[in-house]
Amino acid sequence: MYVIAGCALAGSMFLTVADVILRTFKRPIMGTYELVGLLGAITIAFAIPQTTRVRGHVLMDFVTSRLPRVAGKVLYALTRLLAIAIFWIMASNLWSLGKDFKKVGEVTLTLQLPLYPIAWSLAACCLVECLVLLWDMVERKGAQE
């Protein structure tokens, strides 16, 4: 998933640079704005599970580090459970949105690209994030015992 995120980011960058260069010759790339937006969504969604796995998110622990060990464990478990619930809700809503997009034939304005595969991909990323968060809880519990 991280490779897909990296490719989407690189593609977005190259597309933007090519569009800027071609605009100087009065030949812009049609649909650049749409593609960069879609690639941005793919970049973020596909990078979140790996970033969680390697603990790459910003951690503000100046308050929680002062809590008693048991309170820290409880707070850690609660935040992970809350995150799992949020990503589960996001996944189910994105899946439903994708079904609606497919049913009505929703496409991008300029390039007429279907939007349902993007919504379903984002939903899959949210489900993977749920699994990563769950695994993180199990792994951390095992490492502390």
Band of the pLDDT at 139, cuts 50, 70, 90?
A: confident
36 pLDDT above the threshold of 50: yes
The predicted structure's pLDDT at residue 76: 87
Q: Which residues pair with 107 in a beta bridge?
A: 114
Tokens of 92: 């189910």
* More confident: 86 or 55: 86
Tokens of 89: 């809700």
Average pLDDT for 111-117: 97
Band of the pLDDT at 143, cuts 50, 70, 90?
A: low
Average pLDDT for 114-125: 98
Closest by Cα among 1, 122, 87, 9 to 51: 1
Band of the pLDDT at 144, cuts 50, 70, 90?
A: low
Tokens of 74: 């409880």
On whether the pTM is more than 0.85, the answer is: yes
For a pLDDT cut of 90, what percent of the chain falls above it?
77
Closest by Cα among 50, 36, 41, 4 to 120: 41
Q: How many CA atoms lie within 13 A of 44 on its CB side?
A: 9
The predicted structure's pLDDT at residue 145: 45
The predicted structure's pLDDT at residue 141: 65
Tell me which long-range contacts 30-33 makes (C-beta under 8 A, separation of at least 24).
30/110, 30/111, 31/108, 31/110, 31/111, 33/110
Tokens of 80: 């992970």
